[in-house]
Copies of this chain bind each other. A is one copy, B any other.
Amino acid sequence: MTTIRVLTEAHLRAAVGLGRDELAAVAAVFPLVSAGRASMPPIMRIDVPEHRGEIDIKSAYLPGYAGIAVKLSAGFFDNPARGLPSLGGLMIVLDTETGVPVAALFDNGYLTDVRTALAGAVASDHLARPDATVAAVLGAGVQARLQLEALRLVRPLERAVVWARRGEEARRFADEVGAALALPIAVAASPAEAAAEADIVVTTTPATEPLLDASMVHPGLHVTAVGSDAEHKQELAADLVAAADLFVCDRVAQSLRLGELRAAVAAGFDERRAVELGDVIAGRAAGRPSPEAVTVCDLTGTGAQDTAIAALAVERCAARGTGTTIDA
Protein backbone atom coordinates (compact mmCIF):
# COMPACT_ATOMS: atom_id res chain seq x y z
CA MET A 1 0.00 0.00 0.00
CA THR A 2 1.35 3.37 -0.99
CA THR A 3 -0.08 6.87 -0.99
CA ILE A 4 -0.14 8.76 -4.27
CA ARG A 5 -0.66 12.48 -4.52
CA VAL A 6 -2.88 13.46 -7.45
CA LEU A 7 -2.42 17.06 -8.55
CA THR A 8 -4.32 19.08 -11.12
CA GLU A 9 -3.28 22.02 -13.25
CA ALA A 10 -4.84 24.40 -10.72
CA HIS A 11 -2.82 22.90 -7.87
CA LEU A 12 0.36 23.08 -9.93
CA ARG A 13 -0.20 26.66 -11.07
CA ALA A 14 -0.53 27.61 -7.42
CA ALA A 15 2.61 25.70 -6.48
CA VAL A 16 5.21 26.59 -9.11
CA GLY A 17 5.74 29.39 -11.61
CA LEU A 18 8.44 31.60 -13.04
CA GLY A 19 10.28 32.26 -9.78
CA ARG A 20 13.94 32.31 -8.81
CA ASP A 21 13.80 28.95 -7.02
CA GLU A 22 12.25 27.36 -10.09
CA LEU A 23 14.94 28.98 -12.25
CA ALA A 24 17.66 27.57 -10.01
CA ALA A 25 16.03 24.13 -10.04
CA VAL A 26 15.97 24.01 -13.84
CA ALA A 27 19.49 25.44 -14.18
CA ALA A 28 20.86 22.79 -11.83
CA VAL A 29 20.10 19.86 -14.11
CA PHE A 30 22.01 21.05 -17.21
CA PRO A 31 25.46 20.27 -15.77
CA LEU A 32 24.29 16.81 -14.65
CA VAL A 33 23.08 16.01 -18.17
CA SER A 34 26.23 17.32 -19.84
CA ALA A 35 28.45 15.42 -17.40
CA GLY A 36 26.65 12.20 -18.31
CA ARG A 37 25.29 11.79 -14.80
CA ALA A 38 21.62 11.60 -15.87
CA SER A 39 20.10 8.34 -17.10
CA MET A 40 18.02 9.77 -19.91
CA PRO A 41 16.88 7.53 -22.76
CA PRO A 42 15.87 8.92 -26.15
CA ILE A 43 12.34 10.29 -26.40
CA MET A 44 9.69 7.62 -27.01
CA ARG A 45 7.08 8.53 -29.56
CA ILE A 46 3.72 6.95 -30.36
CA ASP A 47 2.09 8.14 -33.58
CA VAL A 48 -1.68 8.24 -33.91
CA PRO A 49 -2.03 9.05 -37.59
CA GLU A 50 -5.82 8.70 -37.79
CA HIS A 51 -6.24 11.67 -35.43
CA ARG A 52 -3.16 13.65 -36.43
CA GLY A 53 -1.82 12.93 -32.98
CA GLU A 54 1.43 12.00 -31.34
CA ILE A 55 2.45 11.17 -27.81
CA ASP A 56 6.01 11.86 -26.71
CA ILE A 57 7.43 10.36 -23.55
CA LYS A 58 10.44 11.80 -21.78
CA SER A 59 12.09 10.80 -18.56
CA ALA A 60 15.32 11.09 -16.66
CA TYR A 61 16.89 9.70 -13.54
CA LEU A 62 19.10 12.26 -11.85
CA PRO A 63 21.32 11.13 -8.97
CA GLY A 64 20.40 12.93 -5.76
CA TYR A 65 16.80 13.64 -6.76
CA ALA A 66 14.08 11.98 -4.68
CA GLY A 67 11.80 11.45 -7.69
CA ILE A 68 11.97 10.41 -11.32
CA ALA A 69 9.45 12.12 -13.59
CA VAL A 70 7.98 10.39 -16.61
CA LYS A 71 6.26 12.90 -18.86
CA LEU A 72 3.63 12.15 -21.46
CA SER A 73 3.14 15.03 -23.91
CA ALA A 74 0.24 14.80 -26.32
CA GLY A 75 -0.08 16.82 -29.52
CA PHE A 76 -3.38 16.15 -31.31
CA PHE A 77 -3.87 18.59 -34.14
CA ASP A 78 -7.55 17.95 -34.82
CA ASN A 79 -8.36 19.04 -31.25
CA PRO A 80 -9.04 22.73 -31.98
CA ALA A 81 -11.98 21.70 -34.19
CA ARG A 82 -13.39 20.03 -31.05
CA GLY A 83 -12.76 23.07 -28.90
CA LEU A 84 -9.79 21.45 -27.19
CA PRO A 85 -6.17 22.61 -27.09
CA SER A 86 -3.77 20.77 -29.42
CA LEU A 87 -1.17 20.26 -26.73
CA GLY A 88 -1.56 18.55 -23.40
CA GLY A 89 0.19 16.21 -21.10
CA LEU A 90 0.84 14.91 -17.63
CA MET A 91 3.69 13.67 -15.50
CA ILE A 92 4.08 10.70 -13.19
CA VAL A 93 6.68 10.85 -10.42
CA LEU A 94 8.20 7.62 -9.10
CA ASP A 95 10.28 7.31 -5.95
CA THR A 96 13.94 7.15 -6.98
CA GLU A 97 14.88 4.56 -4.37
CA THR A 98 11.96 2.16 -4.79
CA GLY A 99 10.22 2.90 -8.10
CA VAL A 100 6.93 3.25 -6.25
CA PRO A 101 4.56 5.91 -7.67
CA VAL A 102 4.57 9.09 -5.60
CA ALA A 103 2.45 11.53 -7.58
CA ALA A 104 0.41 12.05 -10.73
CA LEU A 105 0.58 15.59 -12.09
CA PHE A 106 -2.29 16.29 -14.49
CA ASP A 107 -0.86 19.60 -15.56
CA ASN A 108 -2.10 19.73 -19.18
CA GLY A 109 1.40 20.75 -20.20
CA TYR A 110 1.74 23.65 -17.74
CA LEU A 111 4.95 22.34 -16.17
CA THR A 112 6.48 21.88 -19.62
CA ASP A 113 5.61 25.47 -20.48
CA VAL A 114 7.25 26.65 -17.26
CA ARG A 115 10.43 24.61 -17.49
CA THR A 116 10.85 25.52 -21.18
CA ALA A 117 10.59 29.22 -20.38
CA LEU A 118 13.01 28.84 -17.48
CA ALA A 119 15.46 26.90 -19.66
CA GLY A 120 15.34 29.81 -22.09
CA ALA A 121 16.17 32.19 -19.27
CA VAL A 122 19.06 29.95 -18.18
CA ALA A 123 20.44 30.05 -21.73
CA SER A 124 20.24 33.84 -21.93
CA ASP A 125 21.66 34.20 -18.45
CA HIS A 126 24.82 32.40 -19.55
CA LEU A 127 25.04 33.51 -23.18
CA ALA A 128 23.42 36.91 -23.73
CA ARG A 129 25.34 40.12 -23.19
CA PRO A 130 25.22 41.18 -19.54
CA ASP A 131 23.83 44.55 -20.63
CA ALA A 132 21.02 43.13 -22.77
CA THR A 133 17.76 45.05 -22.30
CA VAL A 134 15.73 44.38 -25.46
CA ALA A 135 14.21 41.00 -26.24
CA ALA A 136 12.42 39.86 -29.36
CA VAL A 137 10.14 36.88 -29.57
CA LEU A 138 9.14 35.11 -32.76
CA GLY A 139 5.73 33.56 -32.25
CA ALA A 140 2.90 35.03 -30.20
CA GLY A 141 1.67 32.08 -28.18
CA VAL A 142 1.86 31.08 -24.54
CA GLN A 143 5.55 30.20 -24.76
CA ALA A 144 6.46 33.60 -26.25
CA ARG A 145 4.87 35.29 -23.27
CA LEU A 146 6.49 32.97 -20.75
CA GLN A 147 9.89 33.46 -22.37
CA LEU A 148 9.63 37.23 -21.91
CA GLU A 149 8.47 36.79 -18.35
CA ALA A 150 11.29 34.37 -17.51
CA LEU A 151 13.93 36.53 -19.20
CA ARG A 152 13.20 39.25 -16.67
CA LEU A 153 14.61 36.95 -14.00
CA VAL A 154 18.03 37.24 -15.65
CA ARG A 155 18.07 40.58 -17.53
CA PRO A 156 16.34 43.89 -16.77
CA LEU A 157 14.27 44.13 -19.95
CA GLU A 158 13.31 47.65 -20.96
CA ARG A 159 11.27 46.71 -23.98
CA ALA A 160 10.39 43.88 -26.30
CA VAL A 161 9.50 43.17 -29.92
CA VAL A 162 7.17 40.51 -31.24
CA TRP A 163 6.78 39.00 -34.67
CA ALA A 164 4.23 36.37 -35.65
CA ARG A 165 3.20 34.92 -38.97
CA ARG A 166 -0.27 36.36 -38.46
CA GLY A 167 0.05 40.07 -37.83
CA GLU A 168 -3.15 40.34 -35.81
CA GLU A 169 -1.82 37.76 -33.36
CA ALA A 170 1.34 39.81 -32.90
CA ARG A 171 -0.71 42.96 -32.28
CA ARG A 172 -2.92 41.18 -29.75
CA PHE A 173 0.18 39.82 -28.03
CA ALA A 174 1.80 43.27 -27.88
CA ASP A 175 -1.34 44.75 -26.32
CA GLU A 176 -2.21 42.02 -23.88
CA VAL A 177 1.22 40.86 -22.78
CA GLY A 178 2.61 44.37 -22.80
CA ALA A 179 -0.14 45.41 -20.37
CA ALA A 180 0.15 42.30 -18.23
CA LEU A 181 3.93 42.54 -17.88
CA ALA A 182 4.04 46.36 -17.89
CA LEU A 183 6.58 46.10 -20.72
CA PRO A 184 6.50 48.13 -23.94
CA ILE A 185 6.17 45.63 -26.79
CA ALA A 186 6.46 46.67 -30.43
CA VAL A 187 5.25 44.65 -33.40
CA ALA A 188 7.85 43.83 -36.05
CA ALA A 189 6.97 43.30 -39.70
CA SER A 190 9.45 40.47 -40.17
CA PRO A 191 11.79 38.21 -38.20
CA ALA A 192 14.69 40.30 -39.56
CA GLU A 193 13.15 43.50 -38.23
CA ALA A 194 12.54 41.90 -34.84
CA ALA A 195 16.12 40.68 -34.60
CA ALA A 196 17.54 44.02 -35.69
CA GLU A 197 15.98 45.69 -32.66
CA ALA A 198 17.01 43.13 -30.08
CA ASP A 199 19.86 41.95 -27.85
CA ILE A 200 18.14 38.61 -27.36
CA VAL A 201 15.85 36.76 -29.79
CA VAL A 202 13.80 33.80 -28.65
CA THR A 203 12.10 31.72 -31.35
CA THR A 204 9.01 29.89 -30.09
CA THR A 205 7.30 28.66 -33.24
CA PRO A 206 6.39 25.28 -34.80
CA ALA A 207 8.14 26.44 -38.00
CA THR A 208 9.27 23.85 -40.52
CA GLU A 209 11.19 26.39 -42.62
CA PRO A 210 13.87 28.65 -41.14
CA LEU A 211 12.72 32.05 -39.86
CA LEU A 212 16.14 33.55 -39.15
CA ASP A 213 19.27 33.36 -41.25
CA ALA A 214 22.81 34.67 -40.97
CA SER A 215 21.99 37.90 -42.80
CA MET A 216 19.52 38.89 -40.05
CA VAL A 217 21.80 38.86 -37.03
CA HIS A 218 24.10 41.60 -35.75
CA PRO A 219 27.15 41.62 -33.49
CA GLY A 220 26.31 41.00 -29.84
CA LEU A 221 23.03 39.20 -30.52
CA HIS A 222 22.03 36.07 -28.65
CA VAL A 223 19.43 33.75 -30.20
CA THR A 224 17.62 30.99 -28.31
CA ALA A 225 15.51 28.55 -30.35
CA VAL A 226 12.93 26.58 -28.38
CA GLY A 227 10.51 25.59 -31.14
CA SER A 228 12.08 22.60 -32.85
CA ASP A 229 11.47 19.30 -31.14
CA ALA A 230 10.81 17.04 -34.12
CA GLU A 231 12.56 15.84 -37.25
CA HIS A 232 10.57 18.13 -39.55
CA LYS A 233 10.88 21.38 -37.59
CA GLN A 234 13.45 24.12 -38.03
CA GLU A 235 13.59 27.76 -36.96
CA LEU A 236 17.19 28.71 -37.74
CA ALA A 237 18.86 28.52 -41.14
CA ALA A 238 21.96 26.35 -41.34
CA ASP A 239 24.02 29.42 -42.29
CA LEU A 240 23.08 31.11 -39.01
CA VAL A 241 24.24 28.14 -36.96
CA ALA A 242 27.48 28.10 -38.99
CA ALA A 243 27.98 31.86 -38.69
CA ALA A 244 27.48 31.99 -34.93
CA ASP A 245 30.61 32.47 -32.86
CA LEU A 246 29.27 29.94 -30.38
CA PHE A 247 26.60 27.27 -30.85
CA VAL A 248 25.18 25.82 -27.64
CA CYS A 249 22.39 23.30 -27.04
CA ASP A 250 20.85 21.41 -24.15
CA ARG A 251 21.85 18.01 -25.53
CA VAL A 252 23.88 17.45 -28.67
CA ALA A 253 22.41 14.02 -29.46
CA GLN A 254 18.89 15.40 -29.30
CA SER A 255 19.61 18.60 -31.22
CA LEU A 256 21.13 16.45 -33.98
CA ARG A 257 17.96 14.42 -34.19
CA LEU A 258 15.17 16.86 -33.40
CA GLY A 259 16.67 20.33 -33.21
CA GLU A 260 18.61 22.94 -35.13
CA LEU A 261 21.77 20.85 -35.46
CA ARG A 262 19.95 18.47 -37.79
CA ALA A 263 19.77 20.80 -40.78
CA ALA A 264 23.00 22.58 -39.89
CA VAL A 265 25.05 19.37 -39.87
CA ALA A 266 23.35 18.23 -43.08
CA ALA A 267 24.62 21.49 -44.60
CA GLY A 268 28.17 20.83 -43.45
CA PHE A 269 28.37 22.23 -39.89
CA ASP A 270 30.88 20.32 -37.80
CA GLU A 271 28.91 18.96 -34.84
CA ARG A 272 32.07 18.98 -32.74
CA ARG A 273 31.65 22.77 -32.62
CA ALA A 274 28.42 22.29 -30.62
CA VAL A 275 28.76 22.92 -26.89
CA GLU A 276 26.29 21.78 -24.26
CA LEU A 277 24.76 24.42 -22.01
CA GLY A 278 25.51 22.31 -18.95
CA ASP A 279 29.21 22.48 -19.73
CA VAL A 280 29.00 26.26 -20.02
CA ILE A 281 27.14 26.49 -16.70
CA ALA A 282 29.66 24.20 -15.01
CA GLY A 283 32.62 26.13 -16.43
CA ARG A 284 33.80 23.16 -18.45
CA ALA A 285 33.26 25.10 -21.69
CA ALA A 286 33.58 28.78 -22.47
CA GLY A 287 30.46 30.93 -22.78
CA ARG A 288 30.04 34.15 -24.76
CA PRO A 289 33.50 34.86 -26.19
CA SER A 290 33.13 38.65 -26.52
CA PRO A 291 30.51 41.40 -26.31
CA GLU A 292 30.34 41.45 -30.13
CA ALA A 293 29.94 37.70 -30.60
CA VAL A 294 26.79 36.15 -32.01
CA THR A 295 25.67 33.26 -29.83
CA VAL A 296 22.98 30.68 -30.56
CA CYS A 297 21.36 28.20 -28.18
CA ASP A 298 19.04 25.40 -29.29
CA LEU A 299 16.80 23.94 -26.62
CA THR A 300 14.96 20.76 -27.56
CA GLY A 301 13.85 20.08 -23.99
CA THR A 302 14.99 17.19 -21.81
CA GLY A 303 13.46 14.76 -19.39
CA ALA A 304 15.93 16.09 -16.83
CA GLN A 305 14.21 19.48 -16.96
CA ASP A 306 10.89 17.71 -16.38
CA THR A 307 12.27 15.81 -13.41
CA ALA A 308 13.59 19.09 -11.97
CA ILE A 309 10.32 21.01 -12.14
CA ALA A 310 8.20 18.02 -11.13
CA ALA A 311 10.39 17.35 -8.09
CA LEU A 312 9.95 20.93 -6.94
CA ALA A 313 6.19 20.86 -7.53
CA VAL A 314 5.69 17.61 -5.65
CA GLU A 315 7.87 18.77 -2.76
CA ARG A 316 5.86 21.98 -2.39
CA CYS A 317 2.46 20.33 -2.76
CA ALA A 318 3.39 17.64 -0.24
CA ALA A 319 4.57 20.26 2.25
CA ARG A 320 1.30 22.15 1.88
CA GLY A 321 -0.93 19.07 1.74
CA THR A 322 -2.21 20.11 -1.69
CA GLY A 323 -4.10 17.66 -3.92
CA THR A 324 -6.00 14.42 -3.55
CA THR A 325 -4.26 11.48 -1.94
CA ILE A 326 -5.06 7.95 -3.07
CA ASP A 327 -4.07 4.76 -1.24
CA ALA A 328 -3.12 2.24 -3.89
Q: Give me the interface of A with B, judged by CB distance under 8 Å.
A: 4, 6, 8-9, 39-42, 44-51, 53, 55, 57, 59-61, 63, 68, 70, 72, 74-76, 78-79, 82, 84, 88, 90, 92, 94, 96-101, 104, 106, 108, 324, 326-328
Could you tell me if A82 and B70 are in contact, using CB atoms closer than 8 angstroms? no
Q: Contact partner of A57 among B44, B79, B88, B106, CB < 8 A?
A: B44
Q: Number of copies of this chain in the oligomer?
A: 2
Could you tell me if B44 and A59 are in contact, using CB atoms closer than 8 angstroms? yes
Query: Which residue on B lies nearest to A90, using beta carbons?
Result: B101
Quick one: given A57-B59, A104-B104, A328-B9, are A75 and B46 in contact (CB under 8 Å)?
no
Could you tell me if B74 and A55 are in contact, using CB atoms closer than 8 angstroms? no
A326 CB contacts on chain B under 8 angstroms: 6, 8, 106, 324
A88 CB contacts on chain B under 8 angstroms: 99-101
Could you tell me if A76 and B97 are in contact, using CB atoms closer than 8 angstroms? yes
- CA gap between A106 and B328 in the complex, in Å: 6
Could you tell me if B72 and A55 are in contact, using CB atoms closer than 8 angstroms? no
Could you tell me if B99 and A327 are in contact, using CB atoms closer than 8 angstroms? no
Q: Contact partner of A55 among B82, B99, B108, CB < 8 A?
A: B99
Query: Which residue on B lies nearest to A60, using beta carbons?
Result: B46
Quick one: given A57-B57, A68-B46, A68-B55, are A8 and B327 in contact (CB under 8 Å)?
yes
- CA gap between A92 and B4 in the complex, in Å: 14
- Contacts A46-B60, A79-B98 supplied; 10 other A-B pairs, CB < 8 Å: A6-B104, A6-B324, A41-B44, A51-B96, A55-B61, A55-B94, A75-B99, A76-B98, A79-B99, A88-B100
